[in-house]
Chains A and B, each alone.
Chain A
Amino acid sequence: QLQLQESGPGLARPSETLSLTCSVSGDSISSNYFWGWIRQPPGKGLEWIGNIHYSGSSYYSPSLKSRVTLSVDTSKNQFSLTLSSVTAADTAVYYCAATYCNAGYCFPPEYWGQGTLVTVSS
């Protein structure tokens, strides 16, 4: 059973960079998954941020593309999110998730981390 766990600071300062890591257990990060991030501002809906494959292929939400970078560390079985120039609008619960892909088709993410709240405040 695939398990994901987010980690990182719960507070970020405005204009600075937010960094989170997702640790994967139960399977290798070098498998048939795209590893992704989704966020949810308090009391609001879900927002897809982006996906990355261990090979380096990555895709980002058009609205966040200029500020987001995803990366994979195969030696640690982890993947990471960095979001630059944060504002209060980036305050949200950040979830990492796994999207299984096979033969060019990707299923919706079925495995999710429990989520971690990041507050942007001075």
Chain B
Amino acid sequence: QSALTQPDSVSGSPGQSVTISCTATTSDVGTYKSVSWYQQHPGKAPKLVIYEGSRRPSGVSGRFFGSKSGYTASLTISELQADDEAVYFCYSNAGRNTYVFGTGTKVTVL
């Protein structure tokens, strides 16, 4: 099964923007709609923040923005806030009705 590789960590100061990448080893993220992003605070279940590449579920801040270029999807968090400190995972269809998560990225707010 393919893997989705993310950087281990990114950091930024309050008010700044950070971008997390998610790179596929195959064409899993080739279909734009298929990439989603989750935010996970310690001890909590993951929360969906982006789906179909760039769409936000109801209630998710407009500071979260999803995009894609080639085999790499990205999540940008603008105007960084303390509560954005969490681990973020990308998620994609891996073919044959199976799914795969990215390796996860710890976002630290300095």
Contacts and interface: CB of A to CB of B under 8 A. Distances in A.
Interface of A: 38, 45-48, 51, 59-63, 95, 107-110, 112-115
A113 B44 CA distance: 10
Contacts, number: 48
Nearest to A95: B45
A100 to B, nearest CB: 10
Contacts of B89: 45-46
Interface centre among A46, A60, A61, A95 (most CB of B within 10 A): A46
A107 B51 contact: yes
A110 B104 CA distance: 18
A48 B52 CA distance: 18
A46 B6 CA distance: 13
Given A45-B89, A45-B101, A45-B103, 4 more contacts: A46-B91, A46-B104, A48-B100, A109-B48
Interface in B1-42: 1, 36, 38, 40
Nearest to B1: A62
A108 B38 CA distance: 10
A108 B45 contact: no
Q: Which 4 A-B pairs have the closest CB atoms?
A: A108-B36, A112-B45, A59-B97, A46-B101
B98 A114 contact: no
Contact of B51 (A38, A46, A108): A108
B82 to A, nearest CB: 22
Contacts of A47: 101
Contacts of B46: 46, 95, 112
Nearest to B103: A45
Interface centre among B1, B48, B96, B100 (most CB of A within 10 A): B48
B70 interface: no
Nearest to B102: A45
A114 B1 CA distance: 27
Contacts of A115: 45
